[in-house]
Amino acid sequence: MSEASVKSFDVKGLSSRSRRIAFVLSLLIGLICRTVRWRLHDPGNLREKSPEHPLIWVFWHNRIFILTYFRLKYMAERRGAILSSASRDGEIIAALVSRAGCASVRGSTSRRGAAALLGLLDWIKSGYDVGVVPDGPRGPVYKLGPGVIKLAGMTDAKILPVRVEYGSCWKFKSWDRFRVPKPFTTVDIYLDPLFDVPANQNDEELEASRTALERIMNPKNETD
């Protein structure tokens, strides 16, 4: 990416409260992530041969704890924006990802959806990656919404499925059973082969693409 194409990562609109919480969370994430044993599974060799075209990263809501640290550790050269909800929690996520060198696009299927889609399209057309949590912000858990498929079909970006498995973790009693890895455990990151969505698919073809990507993201048919 040329310097002329670099987009703004301005976070001045975020509240001081969100920034303080994000600061504490970033410290906690850093402390835990420095103790774990990382195992990267990258059959497409994306780390060594980083694609020149934009990517749409997809990952489940309950596995996002380590992803900012992972990007900085393994793929810091890839810049872009994360889709975060328009809620207070989404603002905290926006402040957190800004500390890892990413911007955020605020919105979801229930709030500011059209604006969020336009924001993601703008980042992709400028040559940047975007990150989407396809079962957020309210689930159902492990169910891939159609938005990411439609987004890929509207652009030349390829979808990068990112799967995360913890050897041992704490599970919260939230809707997504959010997971935090325990110190000194193993963290397996799977960068699955890039998923392409052709342009101008009809509704039946879009649903077939959605189902295929969901299967890739759920190789163990997880329900817990």
State CA 104 to chain mean position distance: 11
What residue segments make up the domains of the chain, in order of their start? 16-217
* pLDDT attached to residue 211: 96
Q: Tell me the CATH number for domain 16-217.
A: 3.40.1130.10
Q: Using N-to-C axis directions, what is the helix angle for 88-99 and 67-74, rounded to 10°?
A: 20
Token code pair at residue 118:
């336009």
Nearest 5 degrees, angle CA 10-CA 107-CA 157?
80
Count Cβ atoms below 10 Å from residue 185 Cβ, excluding itself.
Answer: 14
* pLDDT attached to residue 2: 36
Q: Where are the alpha helices (DSSP H) in 12-145?
A: 16-33, 67-74, 88-99, 113-125
Identify the segments of the chain with pLDDT beneath 70.
1-12, 108-113, 221-224
Tell me the pLDDT tens digit for each residue of 21-72: 999 999 999 999 999 999 999 998 998 888 989 999 999 999 999 999 999 9
Q: Classify the phi-psi angles of 101: left when phi > 0, otherwise alpha if psi is within -120 to 50, otherwise beta.
A: left
Classify strands 158-166 and 55-58 as parallel, antiparallel or unpaired: parallel
Contacts of 160 (CB under 8 A, 6+ apart): 46, 55, 56, 57, 58, 191, 192, 194, 195
* pLDDT attached to residue 5: 46
